[in-house]
């Protein structure tokens, strides 16, 4: 029973398209995150949600919009995809002591 | 949050202890030392954390110096599956983790 699950695992799309990545956690945590890991392997925090409320937005372009329908879900919608958006996106949840990560979504923008 | 400095890479022989150092000379009194690792293509995995005292769990031991300016993560009997990038993070709280470049540990047969 996966604790933090993301779908899809791979996403290949054309520039200019709009796409979404879904994340669900069954750990009962109040806080969820999106991280981006680029080709140089740096892992950067993008967003943090606590009880469906946006807490952190780390200077991410407006084309990225997180949505949290309930505290177990945090989806990431990306508009007008650009080549530079190609990366691995990780969802995570926290019990305020440690983070639990999903297995990642590899996004390739062509 | 305090910054951390880790070696870029390290090697370790299989079955031997892997000792991964981390410097955090500007750490504040209420900041914890966290360790995560990322095995190739997977999401980062929590290993251990501590404030002042040394800590041990089923994965590793964390040794924090008395002045708290540095720490060492110890994997007592490294296996090939421990090959990963290891991140040392200093943080007041247990969330909003910000990852640096980490140490790439290669365990060799």
Give B84 to chain A, closest Cα distance, Å: 12
Do A96 and B85 lie within an 8 Å CB cutoff? no
* Tens digits of residue pLDDT in A65-92: 999 999 899 999 999 999 999 999 999 9
CB-based contact A60:A39 (threshold 8 Å): no
Measured between beta carbons, the chain B residues lying within 8 angstroms of A45 are 96-98
Mean pLDDT of chain A: 92
Confidence of residue B79 (pLDDT cuts 50, 70, 90): very high
Please state, in angstroms and rounded to a whole number, the distance separating the CA atoms of residues B105 and A95. Answer: 28
The residue among B35, B62, B95 with the most chain A CBs within 10 A of its CB, best to mutate, is B95
Q: Which residues of A touch B46 (CB under 8 A)?
A: 98-100
CB contact under 8 A, B98 and A42: no
SS3 state of residue A85: helix
Q: Is A64:B64 a contact under the CB 8 Å cutoff? A: no
pLDDT the model gives residue A97 = 85
Mean pLDDT, residues B96-105 taken together: 91
B46 neighbors A94 (Cβ within 8 angstroms):
no
Measured distance CA(B31)–CA(B52) in Å, rounded:
9
């Amino acid at each position: 029973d996966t604790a933090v699950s993301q779908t899809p695992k791979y996403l290949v799309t054309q520039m200019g398209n709009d796409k979404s990545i879904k994340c669900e956690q069954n750990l009962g945590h109040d806080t969820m995150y999106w991280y981006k890991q680029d080709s140089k392997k740096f892992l950067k925090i993008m967003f943090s949600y606590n009880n469906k409320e946006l807490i952190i937005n780390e200077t991410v372009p407006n084309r990225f919009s997180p949505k949290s329908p309930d505290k177990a879900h945090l989806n990431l919608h990306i508009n007008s995809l650009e080549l530079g958006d190609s990366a691995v996106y990780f969802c995570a949840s926290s019990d305020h002591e440690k983070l639990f990560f999903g297995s990642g979504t590899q996004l390739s923008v062509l | 949050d305090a910054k951390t400095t880790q070696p870029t890479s390290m090697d370790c022989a299989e079955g031997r202890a892997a000792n991964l150092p981390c410097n955090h000379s500007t750490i504040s009194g209420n900041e914890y030392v966290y360790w995560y690792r990322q095995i190739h293509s997977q999401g980062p995995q929590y290993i251990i954390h501590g404030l002042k005292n040394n800590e041990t769990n089923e994965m590793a031991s964390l040794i924090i110096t008395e002045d708290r300016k540095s720490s060492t993560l110890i994997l007592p009997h490294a296996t090939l599956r421990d090959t990963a990038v290891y991140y040392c993070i200093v943080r007041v709280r247990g969330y909003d983790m910000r990852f640096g470049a980490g140490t790439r540990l290669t365990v060799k047969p």
